[in-house]
Amino acid sequence: MATTIPPARRVGMVSLGCPKALVDSERILTKLRADGYAMSADYDGADVVLVNTCGFLDSAKEESLAAIGEAIAENGRVIVTGCMGNEAQVIRDRFPEVLAITGAQQYEAVVEAVHEAAPPTQGPFVDLIPQQDVKLTPRHYSYLKISEGCNHACAFCIIPQLRGKLASRRIDAVLREAEKLVAAGTQELLVISQDTSAYGVDVRHEERLWKGHPVRTHMTDLARELGQLRTAEGRAPWVRLHYVYPYPHVDAVIPLMAEGLITPYLDIPFQHASPAVLRAMKRPANEAKVLERLKAWRAICPDIAIRSSFVVGFPGETEADFQYLLDWLDEAQLDRVGAFRFEPVDGATANALPDPVPEAVKEERYARIMEKTEAISAAKLAAKVGRTIPVIVDEVGEPDEDCDIGATGRSQADAPEIDGSVFLRDVPAALQPGTIVDVVVEDADAHDLYGALA
């Protein structure tokens, strides 16, 4: 007798916010798939839509509310999760028809809400669904989240309130996940957390066994072991370290970069340079010797790319503080910089600080920092013209009227979504995203490079 397989319930997902939220979305979808749900790429085909929100800045909250509104209008059956879930009343007031609201990292609660809203199909075949992880990034790069939460109390930030204290994942579990991702085709691992340098502090850097030898729950052990992974082609995958604070032990990963085991790239959110502003911001690893360390790192690994972000117009920032920052940037010669105008965040202690900077002054300082960092970036990229560099291909285009095909990729100095691109001309149609190719750089502007296959 033939058995009819009941169709699986379908879940749609709208994922907003930072890479950490994207990893949460992947984890929720992985669990739902294991429970027998299928994914829906559009609103129409979904039995229920999950909106993973970001609630950090007011602008992100508005974007989250707009996404919830759209999902309700298009589908009607909506569950809200993520950082903005901690403000359930604001969501309920605006959208009383939302089925359930859960907060950040409440994986079980959100999965339970989906079970209630669209009970999973019962059938003998559900157990046969492969237990493969769901990825929302392209196959060739993956975020690797090593911890949740943060032990600091930066004045402008509410992450510790939203996500709690630092909770590090077991290092053997992180390494196993990395190994699986690389075996499944990942060419680039992006290590993320709120404070990567603090990895393992909460568990006193406990040791675990990995491949027969002990490894500590520590950023340097993690970097060393990730540097041992090999792709199917026998290459070390690119490994990028994000959200690294310049604690002394960061020095130990620079030789790994020089040896080609870890990608020569460090994302260090400095946020400012003036000691007075850093003190007011209550920033971790706020010490004076950073410029000397940058110099020492570059002596060991000349190709290291440093990316950072800065806040201008923090309460109490004087013209002298801001000028100090500009002069510091001249010295630091950072490769990639993101700048933000200070914006009060509900619940942040910075809101109570005296001497707010007028909006017009914030705008003017923002324009000046952008001008400075663009000039530094343009000069650094211009120096790459004529060199041959490895580039990972993200996308291959369609042939134009002359049958030429272009592709977009990234150098080792470019993380996906936040940094620049390398635009390639005249690539073969068979070139696949995820391939790492040698490229001769032919031209550059303030953010991007242009070139052709070597």
Residues that bind ligand SF4 (CB under 6 A): 150, 152-154, 157, 159-160, 194-195, 284
- Cα gap 328→274, rounded to integer Å: 9
Closest CB 409 distance from ligand SF4, rounded Å: 30
Identity of the residue, 91 or 273, whose beta carbon is nearer to ligand SF4 in the bound complex:
273
Identity of the residue, 156 or 210, whose beta carbon is nearer to ligand SF4 in the bound complex:
156
Closest CB 276 distance from ligand SF4, rounded Å: 18
Closest CB 14 distance from ligand SF4, rounded Å: 24
Closest CB 194 distance from ligand SF4, rounded Å: 4
- Cα gap 358→364, rounded to integer Å: 10
* Residue at token pair 């002394």: 248
Identity of the residue, 237 or 269, whose beta carbon is nearer to ligand SF4 in the bound complex:
269
Identity of the residue, 43 or 56, whose beta carbon is nearer to ligand SF4 in the bound complex:
56
Amino acid identity for residue 435 in this structure: T
Identity of the residue, 194 or 263, whose beta carbon is nearer to ligand SF4 in the bound complex:
194
Closest CB 159 distance from ligand SF4, rounded Å: 4
CA distances from 350 to 75, 273, 353 (A): 39, 17, 5
Identity of the residue, 9 or 240, whose beta carbon is nearer to ligand SF4 in the bound complex:
240
CA distances from 82 to 48, 55, 63, 92, 93 (A): 16, 8, 13, 15, 18
Identity of the residue, 37 or 199, whose beta carbon is nearer to ligand SF4 in the bound complex:
199
Pick the closest to residue 55 from 347, 349, 272 (CA basis).
Answer: 347
Identity of the residue, 7 or 275, whose beta carbon is nearer to ligand SF4 in the bound complex:
275
Closest CB 161 distance from ligand SF4, rounded Å: 9
Closest CB 153 distance from ligand SF4, rounded Å: 6
Closest CB 84 distance from ligand SF4, rounded Å: 17
Backbone angles phi, psi at 142, to 5 degrees: -145, 140
